[in-house]
Amino acid sequence: MRVFLALVSEAAAAIWANRLRSFLTILGIVVGVTSVIAIVSTVEGLQGDMEQSFATMGQNTFMVTRFGFGMSWSEYLERRTRKKLHRDLIPIIEQGCPDCAEVGAESYDYNHLKYGSQRMTWIEIRGETPNILEMRDFDVLLGRYLSWEDETRRLQVAFIGHRVYEKFFEGEDPLGKVIKIGDREFTVIGVAEKNDGVMVDGLDNFVAIPLATHHKIYPDPGDPVNLVISAKSAALRERAMDEVRVVLRSARHLPYEEDDDFTMVTPDAILSFINDLTRAYRVLMISLPLLSIVVGGIVIMNIMMISVTERTREIGIRKSIGARANHILMQFLYESIILSLVGGALGIICGVWVGDLILRSWLEIQVTPTTMAIVLGFGISTAVGLFFGIYPAMKAARLDPIEALGYE
C-alpha cells in the first residue's frame, strides 16, 4: 500500500510539473467524454420521446392499411396492385369482430392553409370519422372534436393541431374563425392539446375534417381509407387483430393459399420500423465523439513518450538505487490513468451540465444523462488511458540503468 501511494504521489507530482501539457491532454479527454455523454443522453431521450409519441395511438389500437411499411421499391409496386380499403368495410368488421370496441377510418392528403395574411404550406389534412377521438390518446384543448352530424352533412368544419393554432391564433379565440384549406373555407370548431417533445412536433401540424368532406374535396377512385380499430382491451388486441384478419380475407374473397392483401400496423410495429431506419444514424452519432477520445488517447501516448525521453536520467537513477522495472512501469502507467480519470470526471460533469441545461431547453426533451451514458463515458476514458499508456510505460520500464544514466 505504501508503494502504491508513493507511485501515485510521484505520478501526480510529474503531472503537476508539466501543468500546461497535462491541461491540454485532459482537455481532449473532457471534450470527448462530454460529447459521448451528451450524445448518448440525447439519443436515449429522443428514443423515449419517440416511444411516447407513438403511445398516443393507444395501446388497444391498430390500423389496417393497403401499403404498410415497404422497405423496397418492388414491395411498393406490389402493394399498389392491392385492392383499396373503403369505409363500407366498417359495418362488416363491427359485425364480425366481437373483441373490437370501435372501428373507424381516416384518409390523408396535404394542402396549404391560409388565415388572413398568414399562410402555412404542406399541412397534413386528415379526413376522420368522429370515433377516432376515442381510439387515439389526444385531448381537446379548446372547442370540440368532429361529430357524426358533421360527418353525415359533410360540413366544412376543422379541428386543428396545436401548431396551426399557435401560428394563426396565438392570443385570440380560434373558435368560429374561418381558415382556408386550399381554396375552400372551413370553420374552426376545436383545437388539439399540444404534444410534448421534439419528436412529436410534426404530430401537431395537422387539420382534421370529416371523412365524408375529405372525400368530397380530395376525390380518389374508390375513396380509399385506412381502417383504425380499437380492441376492448390491450390484452385482447391480438385476438381482435386475428378476428379482423378473418373478416377482411372473407370480405375480399382471398383464397386460403394467398397472402393478405392488406397490412396490420400497431404502435409497436411503427416504433420498430423507425428504430430500424434510424439505427445506423444513432450508431454514427455515438461513434463520432469516440474518435475524439481516441485522439485524446493518442495525445496521452505522445506526451508520455516525451515524458519518458525527458526523464531518462531520472529513470536510470531510480533503477540504480533499487527501483524495480514494475515500479517504473506502474509510475508512468499511473500518470496516464490519472490524466484520463481527471478528464473523464470533468467530462461527466460537463456532459451532465450540457445535457440537463442546454440540450433539454433546446430540444425540449428529457435528456438528463443516464447511468449507461455516464458509465460509457467514464469507462471509455479509463480504458483509453490504460491502453495508450501501456507502451510508454513499458518503454520506460525496459530502459537499461547504465544507458539511462549516460543519456544526454
Q: What is the 3-state secondary structure (H, E, C) of the chain?
A: CHHHHHHHHHHHHHHHHCHHHHHHHHHHHHHHHHHHHHHHHHHHHHHHHHHHHHHCCCCCEEEEECCCCCCCHHHHHHHHCCCCCCCCHHHHHHHHCCCEEEEEEEEEEEEEEEECCEEEEEEEEEEECCCHHHHCCCCEEEECCCCHHHHHCCCCEEEECHHHHHHHHCCCCCCCCEEEECCEEEEEEEEECCCCCCCCHHHHCEEEEEHHHHHHHCCCCCCCCEEEEEECCHHHHHHHHHHHHHHHHHHCCCCCCCCCCCEEECHHHHHHHHHHHHHHHHHHHHHHHHHHHHHHHHHHHHHHHHHHHHCHHHHHHHHHCCCCHHHHHHHHHHHHHHHHHHHHHHHHHHHHHHHHHHHHHHHCCCCCCCHHHHHHHHHHHHHHHHHHHHHHHHHHHCCCHHHHHCCC
In a domain, 78, yes or no: no
Q: 108 and 252: one domain?
A: yes
Strand partners, 181: 113, 184
Number of other residues whose CB lies within 10 A of the CB of residue 270: 16
Q: 281 and 255: one domain?
A: no
Phi, psi of 309 (to 5 degrees): -65, -45
Q: 133 and 256: one domain?
A: yes
- The letter for the amino acid at 183 is D
The span from the CA of 361 to the CA of 367, in Å, is 9
In this prediction, residue 100 has a pLDDT band, given cuts at 50, 70 and 90, of very high
The span from the CA of 340 to the CA of 297, in Å, is 8
Q: 10 and 124: one domain?
A: no
Q: 222 and 87: one domain?
A: yes
Q: 95 and 218: one domain?
A: yes
Single out the residue of 199, 391, 192, 174 nearest to residue 298, CA to CA. Answer: 391
Strand partners, 180: 114, 185
In a domain, 230, yes or no: yes
Q: 185 and 212: one domain?
A: yes
**76 touches 70 (CB < 8 A):** yes
What value does the mean pLDDT take over residues 198-213? 78
Q: 159 and 237: one domain?
A: yes
Domain that holds residue 42: 2-53+273-405
**225 touches 66 (CB < 8 A):** no
In a domain, 317, yes or no: yes
Q: What is the pLDDT of residue 358?
A: 56
Mean pLDDT of the chain: 81
Phi, psi of 264 (to 5 degrees): -100, 130
Residue 337, all three cell numbers: 490513468
Q: Give residue 388's Cα distance to chain centre.
A: 33
Burial class (CB in 10 A: 0-12, 13-18, 19+), 8: middle
* Model confidence, pTM: 0.66
The sign of the CA dihedral 159, 161, 167, 169 is positive
End residue of a domain, out of 261, 284, 315: 261
End residue of a domain, out of 261, 282, 314: 261
In a domain, 64, yes or no: no
Least confident among 136-145, 148-157, 283-292, 379-388: 283-292
Q: 400 and 340: one domain?
A: yes
The span from the CA of 45 to the CA of 360, in Å, is 9
In a domain, 124, yes or no: yes
In this prediction, residue 367 has a pLDDT band, given cuts at 50, 70 and 90, of low
In a domain, 131, yes or no: yes
Q: 124 and 37: one domain?
A: no
Residue 150, all three cell numbers: 358533421
In a domain, 76, yes or no: no
In this prediction, residue 384 has a pLDDT band, given cuts at 50, 70 and 90, of confident
Q: How many domains does the chain have?
A: 2
Q: 134 and 239: one domain?
A: yes
End residue of a domain, out of 261, 286, 307: 261
Residue 32, all three cell numbers: 470527448
Q: Is the pLDDT of residue 264 over 70?
A: yes
Tens digits of residue pLDDT in 150-197: 999 999 999 999 999 999 998 899 999 999 999 999 999 999 988 755
The sign of the CA dihedral 333, 339, 344, 345 is positive
The span from the CA of 244 to the CA of 334, in Å, is 66
Q: Is the pLDDT of residue 91 over 50?
A: yes
Q: What is the pLDDT of residue 262?
A: 93
What value does the mean pLDDT take over residues 369-396? 74
Q: Is the pLDDT of residue 407 over 60?
A: no
In a domain, 66, yes or no: no
**243 touches 98 (CB < 8 A):** yes
In this prediction, residue 25 has a pLDDT band, given cuts at 50, 70 and 90, of confident
Q: 232 and 88: one domain?
A: yes
